[in-house]
């Protein structure tokens, strides 16, 4: 072999080596997380309420949904804080103040927001929202009971203003979102209620469980509360046209589903059909379920709304139950842009997530395509399964299934437990790939809520996972080679201050994406109020347009890889 | 003479009485088919019901009636009809068999929990049919029905027991095309009860008997997760099970 041939061979080998290395690199998972709960000081345990009397454990199981997370920067220091609920009697909630260095300090007691788990009330969900537009996030605690509204006093302390707020109606609420349904500039509240409004801790009549496991009609429905703008709320469920929902609501979600500038709603019901309502723009809604999705009989657990395929129309993801003994499949409702939706969960690979709970869309690798994290699992306990014991309950003719006394005791049995969480990477071609193991999020806790948060303002979205009767998990996004990004904190002036319902459209790198500021979509989890866009390799933004809830449309310019604050009518402002 | 005439008249009337339901049934059946030919499902169902009421053991009438109920999505009507018939004809195995199938026909359009309830009700009727007449179709049907139950309910071993009996019946008689179903089902039952070798042996034997059967070939050719997918796809409660029994009277011997 002559010198030239040797050099050629060497170069060829180098080329091959480089190609192999590049191929290996490109096949590396783009999304990686490190669980930092202990290190961050947030590793707290949730406790479901303990019931007493016959078949107390059946009620315990039916109420095991209250492990919730709410993300919000309550002290406006530029770092997002985390509120975590507990549910057992006397157990405190947690307000984790973000110290800005990936550690947190629990200030719930000092701030005055630890309470709520009274002997006759169970904390089930939480929501940050600025109900009085004073620029400070207030806190709503949803309960099996009456809710609690805390006003943010601005000095690290909160004041319980429930008594004067008008929010005095008992409900077994499991979900709550805030949005301005009538665009009057004040945030209204939509509660999803699971059981009918009877106090489970002081039962006079034991017939409280679903009257049908596929088409139950004896649930709590929804309650809509209009914000008067004077620090009070008034119930408008009937007036708004939502009183006919009598199902076992587990989650509610909002978004502009038909691109008319108004916020529409999707209601996910356990044991029966979900509901889709369009906003008429006059303070009322009209149901379009039959045409939009058809009537389902599944066990709806979660609503998240996002444009996963970047076609300019918001899609809806609903988790259901898929297990060896029940093959429901989730629903990814693709928006057909004509008032109808098509379930494409099978086609997209997002059908089976076990006993699903929360699911959240988020662009975790900043490639411009929203990925999907789903938590699951009902009850992980002993080696025996509860499922065979339920069969006689279901199949015995005439057995009154509404009475917990007719359900067998669960004891230490497992029911759809030890399920691995699912993380679906959006492949940008209409399908997803399950990557939870590579990403480091395939834990087997009994997940309930998800909060998407940027813990350290690095533009890579992190995840909070709450678990029923198990510890909290905090996943720090340590993905490498992620794309460029922008985060926008929108501040309404004519619109509600939180800008909930605002839509942002960004065109960059040949891709147009939309996001809306949401007021708590997703089961048991309110995510960051900031709008986050991954931009991939795009170095410039061609166009960024904001459509505020007030109807105002404005274009702004923001720097890449920064968190920007934008005030309605004033463009980019200093924090 | 008069006595002879009386006897003759009595005999004639007796024969007429015996024949008339079948004749009436046949007439109704023809009307049903005519209505069906013009997609008049309402009248088709009506005439089929008359035909079956007159001749409740007639598998063909009942099977075709249920297929019309499926087409017209009138599942509750079919269930209700056979429910009434089963109370008036409790000793008819074929009525119980079709009553069970009426429940099965409704399963794909039902919610996940209702599917369990319907499957359980179907199983009750199939059991009555087996108890009255433990023939091939009743044993195969109940055996197959057990296999649809998720493993956690441990009903597959009972399915295997029924299917083994069905297999014994079929190997003792002349070969029918539809007997291939037992090879498939029994193999699936063995697979579901973790008896893979026995499963493979049954599928291979089936393939010897029915060498062109693609479903048997697929089972023999696949292993592990791929095999699991094939079998589970076959036992998916959300997919419609073919409950049309026409093979029973149209199948030729091989």
- DSSP 3-state of A466: strand
* Apex A281 CA angle, A280 and A286, nearest 5: 15
A258-316 pLDDT, tens digit each: 999 999 999 999 999 999 999 999 999 999 999 999 999 999 999 999 999 999 999 99
| Least confidently predicted of A54-63, A394-403, A539-548 | A54-63
Provide the token pair at A243: 């009183």
Helix (H, G, I), strand (E, B) or coil at B73: coil
Burial-class residue A150 by CB neighbours within 10 Å (0-12, 13-18, 19+). buried
Query: Could you count the other beta carbons within 10 Å of the beta carbon of residue A110?
Result: 13
Identify the bridge partners of residue A573 per DSSP, sorted by sequence position: A565
What number is the ipTM of this complex?
0.84
A:248-277 residues touching chain B, CB 8 A cutoff: 272
Per-residue pLDDT of chain B (254 residues; tens, 9 = 90+): 455 555 555 554 444 444 455 778 999 999 999 999 999 999 999 999 999 999 999 999 999 999 999 999 999 999 999 999 999 999 999 999 999 999 999 999 999 999 999 999 999 999 999 999 999 999 999 999 999 999 999 999 999 999 999 999 999 999 999 999 999 999 999 999 999 999 999 999 999 999 999 999 999 999 999 999 999 999 988 899 999 999 998 875 54
Q: What is the DSSP string of A195-227?
A: B-SS-GGG-SS---S-S-SSS---B--EEEEEE
Q: Is the predicted pLDDT of residue A19 greater than 50, yes or no? A: no
Asked if residues A229 and A185 have their Cβ atoms less than 8 Å apart, the reply is yes
> Which residue of A lies nearest to B149 if distances are taken between CA atoms?
A325
Q: Beta partners for A473?
A: A465
pLDDT per residue as tens digits for the range A439-452: 999 999 999 999 99
Asked whether the beta carbons of A547 and A406 are under 8 A apart, the reply is: no
Q: How far apart are CA B61 and CA B52, in angstroms?
A: 6
Q: Report, as an integer, the average pLDDT of A27-33.
A: 73
With cut-offs at 50, 70 and 90, classify the pLDDT of residue A6: low
- In total, chain A counts a number of residues equal to 575
- Please give the helix or strand (H or E) that residue A252 lies within, else none: strand A248-255
**Residue of chain A minimizing CA distance to B235:** A327
Q: For residue A21, how far is the Cα from the chain centroid?
A: 39
pLDDT at residue A45, rounded to an integer: 97
Query: Is residue A532 helix, strand or coil?
Result: strand
Tokens, residue A572: 């980019």
Q: Give the residue from chain B lying closest to A272, CA to CA.
A: B111
pLDDT digits (tens, 9 = 90+) for A104-157: 999 999 999 999 999 999 999 999 999 999 999 999 999 999 999 999 999 999
- Chain A positions touching B116 (Cβ under 8 A) are 391, 394-395
Asked whether residue A16 carries a pLDDT value surpassing 50, the answer given is no
Partner-chain contact B152 A327, CB within 8 Å? no
**Cβ partners under 8 Å of residue A145, min gap 6:** A118, A120, A121, A122, A170, A171, A199
Check the CA dihedral A268-A269-A274-A278 and report its sign.
negative
Q: Residue A445, exposed/middle/buried by CB under 10 A (0-12, 13-18, 19+)?
A: buried
For residue A122, the cross-strand partners are A144
| Prediction pTM value | 0.91
Count of other CB atoms within 10 angstroms of residue A500: 26
**pLDDT value for A20:** 40
Closest CA to A337 of A318, A308, A315: A315
Question: Higher pLDDT residue, A200 or A4?
Answer: A200
Task: Please state, as a whole number, how many other Cβ atoms lie within 10 Å of the Cβ of residue A509.
Answer: 19
* Facing residue for A324 by CB, picked from B111, B121, B152: B152
Residues in B whose CB is inside 8 Å of some CB of A read: 110-114, 116-117, 120-121, 150-154, 236-238
Rounded CA gap, A78 and A87, in Å? 29
Our CA-based measurement puts residue A322 at a distance from the nearest CA of chain B, in whole angstroms, of 10
Instruction: Name the average pLDDT for chain A.
Output: 94
Return the number of CB contacts < 8 Å for A and B. Answer: 48
Q: What is the DSSP string of B212-226?
A: T-HHHHHHHH--HHH
Q: What is the DSSP letter of A325?
A: T
């Amino acid at each position: 072999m002559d010198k030239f041939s040797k050099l050629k061979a060497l170069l060829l080998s180098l080329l091959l080596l480089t190609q192999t290395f590049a191929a290996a690199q490109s096949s590396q998972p783009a999304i990686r997380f490190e669980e930092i709960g202990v290190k961050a000081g947030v590793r707290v345990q949730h406790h479901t309420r303990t019931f007493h009397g016959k078949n107390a454990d059946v009620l315990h199981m039916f109420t095991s949904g209250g492990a919730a997370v709410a993300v919000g920067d309550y002290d406006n220091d530029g770092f997002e804080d985390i509120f975590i609920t507990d549910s057992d009697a006397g157990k405190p909630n947690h307000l984790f103040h973000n110290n800005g260095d990936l550690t947190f300090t629990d200030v719930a007691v000092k701030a005055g927001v630890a309470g709520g788990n009274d002997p006759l009330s169970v904390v089930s969900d939480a929501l940050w929202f600025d109900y009085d537009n004073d620029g400070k996030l207030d806190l709503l605690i949803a309960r099996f009971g009456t809710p609690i509204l805390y006003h943010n006093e601005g000095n690290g302390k909160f004041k319980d203003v429930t008594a004067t707020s008008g929010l005095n109606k008992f409900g077994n609420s499991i979900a709550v979102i805030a949005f301005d349904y009538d665009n009057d500039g004040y945030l209204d509240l939509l509660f999803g209620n699971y059981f009918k409004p009877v106090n489970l801790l002081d039962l006079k009549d034991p017939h409280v469980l679903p009257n049908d496991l596929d088409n139950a009609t004896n649930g709590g429905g929804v309650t809509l509360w209009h914000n008067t703008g004077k620090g009070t709320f008034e119930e408008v469920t009937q007036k708004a046209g939502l009183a006919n929902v009598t199902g076992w609501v587990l989650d509610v979600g909002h978004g502009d589903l038909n691109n008319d500038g108004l916020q529409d709603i999707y209601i996910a019901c356990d044991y029966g059909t979900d509901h889709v309502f369009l906003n008429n723009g006059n303070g009322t809604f009209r149901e379009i379920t039959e045409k939009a999705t058809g009537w389902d009989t599944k066990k709806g657990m979660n609503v998240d709304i996002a444009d996963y395929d970047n076609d300019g129309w918001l899609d809806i993801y609903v988790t259901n139950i898929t297990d060896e003994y029940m093959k429901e499949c989730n629903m990814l409702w693709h928006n057909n842009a004509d008032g109808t939706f098509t379930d494409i969960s099978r086609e997209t690979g997002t059908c089976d997530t076990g006993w699903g709970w929360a699911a959240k869309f988020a662009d975790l690798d900043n490639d411009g395509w929203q990925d999907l994290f789903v938590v699951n699992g009902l009850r992980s306990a002993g080696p025996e399964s509860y499922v065979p014991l339920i069969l006689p309950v279901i199949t015995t003719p005439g057995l009154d299934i509404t009475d917990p006394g007719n359900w067998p005791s669960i004891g230490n049995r497992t029911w759809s437990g030890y399920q691995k969480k699912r993380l679906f990477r959006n492949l940008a071609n209409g399908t997803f790939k399950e990557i939870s193991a590579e990403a480091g999020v395939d834990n087997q806790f009994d997940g309930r809520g998800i909060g998407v948060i940027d813990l350290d303002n690095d533009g890579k979205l992190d995840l909070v996972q709450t678990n029923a009767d198990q510890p909290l998990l905090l996943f720090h996004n340590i993905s490498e080679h992620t794309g460029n990004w922008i985060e926008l904190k929108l501040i309404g002036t004519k619109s509600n201050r939180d800008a909930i319902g605002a839509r942002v459209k960004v065109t960059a790198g040949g891709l147009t994406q939309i996001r809306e500021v949401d007021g708590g979509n997703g089961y048991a989890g309110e995510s960051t109020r900031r709008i986050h866009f991954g931009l991939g390799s795009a170095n410039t933004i061609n166009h960024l347009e904001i459509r505020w809830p007030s109807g105002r449309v404005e274009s702004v310019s923001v720097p890449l890889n920064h968190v920007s604050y934008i005030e309605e009518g004033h463009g980019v402002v200093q924090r | 003479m008069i006595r002879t005439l009386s006897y003759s008249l009595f005999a004639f009337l007796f024969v007429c009485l015996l024949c008339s339901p079948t004749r009436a049934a046949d007439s109704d059946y023809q009307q049903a088919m005519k209505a069906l030919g013009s997609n008049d499902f309402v009248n088709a169902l009506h005439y089929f019901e008359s035909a079956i009421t007159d001749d409740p053991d007639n598998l063909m009438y009942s099977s075709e009636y249920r297929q019309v109920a499926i087409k017209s999505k009138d599942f509750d009507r079919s269930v209700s009809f056979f429910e009434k018939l089963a109370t008036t004809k409790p000793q008819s195995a074929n009525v119980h068999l079709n009553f069970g199938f009426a429940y099965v026909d409704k399963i794909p359009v039902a919610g996940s929990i209702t599917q369990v309830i319907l499957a359980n009700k179907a199983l009750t009727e199939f059991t009555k049919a087996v108890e009255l007449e433990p023939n091939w179709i009743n044993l195969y049907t109940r055996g197959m029905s057990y296999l649809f139950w998720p493993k956690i309910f441990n009903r597959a071993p009972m399915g295997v027991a029924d299917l083994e009996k069905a297999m014994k019946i079929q190997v003792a008689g002349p070969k029918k095309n539809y007997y291939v179903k037992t090879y498939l089902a029994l193999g699936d039952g063995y697979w579901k009860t973790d008896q893979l070798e026995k499963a493979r042996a049954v599928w291979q034997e089936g393939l010897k008997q029915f060498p062109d059967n693609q479903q048997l070939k697929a089972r023999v050719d696949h292993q592990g997760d791929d095999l699991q997918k094939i079998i589970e796809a076959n036992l998916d409660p959300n997919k419609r099970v073919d409950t049309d029994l026409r093979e029973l009277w149209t199948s030729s011997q091989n």
